[in-house]
């Protein structure tokens, strides 16, 4: 299964209209063309003009065929033209293609907010980072009530990034559970043992997200 993560930077004041178009038109067109929908999110903290969403396909060839069919759909073209009479909604798009790691669950969400985290491992340390997540970190997340939504690595382009998503019941819940995980002696032991020859991760980015009203 191929996953596509897309982040839209909406033009000033256009995010409500962009969300409305997704809710009332675009998601339906995606479904009509067999495009799988994992979720849609807006930022809970920080930038308020971004829409993040994730789609799924059988393969890159399947993605190309279905996306082309969606783009050529007369209904989509008419809706886009009608809704953008006063200008385009989106100023910029970032997208990445990913596949689930062997240890990832099938993506699922039962929590109110999600945290998207992207790790850039040190050179040669990706296997050890995967091993630590598979054998230690994920279990410790579960121990502290943190939902493991999904874990992915890049399918096209940069292959040394780990993208994963966690779930919480709210911001307060996130602070409490992440703090408990960070202070857990089991985590310190696993981290120390895995980093005897140096740290595994060079850089991490995280974004706190909340699912839109029209997201699955």
Domain boundaries, the chain: 2-98, 100-211
Asked whether residue 157 carries a pLDDT value surpassing 80, the answer given is no
Angstrom distance (rounded) from CA 152 to CA 166: 12
**What confidence category does residue 160 fall into, taking pLDDT thresholds of 50, 70 and 90?**
confident
Residue 156: its pLDDT value, please? 67
Long-range Cβ pairs for the range 169-178 (8 Å, 24+): 169/111, 169/112, 169/113, 170/112, 170/113, 171/44, 171/45, 171/113, 171/208, 174/113, 174/115, 174/208, 177/144, 177/145, 177/146, 178/146
**H runs (alpha helix) in 53-103:** 60-72, 74-83
Model's pTM, two decimal places?
Answer: 0.93
Q: Provide the CATH number for the domain formed by 2-98 in this structure.
A: 3.30.70.100
Q: What is the mean pLDDT of residues 60-77?
A: 98
Angstrom distance (rounded) from CA 138 to CA 186: 12
Residue 45: its pLDDT value, please? 79
Residue 155: its pLDDT value, please? 76
Query: Angle at CA 163, nearest 5°, toward 120 and 128?
Result: 55
Residue 44: its pLDDT value, please? 85
Report the candidate in 69, 56, 61, 67 with the shortest Cα–Cα distance to residue 3: 56
- Choices 3.30.9.10, 3.30.70.100, 1.10.10.10, 3.60.15.10: CATH for 100-211: 3.30.70.100
**Integer distance in angstroms from the first to the last C-alpha of the chain?**
18
Residue 159: its pLDDT value, please? 67
Residue 154: its pLDDT value, please? 87
Angstrom distance (rounded) from CA 141 to CA 148: 7
């Amino acid at each position: 299964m191929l996953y596509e993560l897309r982040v839209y930077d909406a033009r000033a004041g256009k995010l409500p209209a962009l969300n409305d178009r997704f809710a009332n038109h675009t998601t339906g067109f995606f479904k009509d063309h067999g495009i799988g929908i994992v979720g849609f999110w807006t930022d809970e903290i920080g930038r308020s003009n971004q829409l993040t969403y994730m789609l799924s396909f059988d393969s890159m060839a399947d993605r190309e065929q279905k996306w082309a069919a969606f783009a050529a759909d007369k209904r989509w073209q008419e809706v886009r033209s009608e809704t953008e009479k006063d200008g385009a909604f989106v100023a910029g798009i970032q997208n990445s293609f990913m596949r689930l790691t062997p240890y990832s669950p099938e993506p699922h969400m039962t929590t109110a907010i999600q945290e998207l985290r992207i790790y850039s491992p040190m050179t040669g340390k990706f296997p050890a980072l995967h091993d630590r997540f598979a054998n230690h970190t994920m279990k410790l997340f579960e121990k502290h009530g943190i939902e493991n939504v999904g874990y992915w690595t890049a399918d096209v382009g940069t292959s040394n990034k780990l993208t994963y998503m966690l779930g919480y019941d709210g911001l307060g819940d996130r602070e409490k559970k992440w703090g408990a995980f960070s202070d857990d002696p089991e985590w310190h032991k696993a981290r120390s043992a895995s980093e005897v020859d140096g740290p595994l991760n060079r850089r991490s980015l995280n974004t706190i997200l909340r699912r839109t009203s029209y997201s699955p």
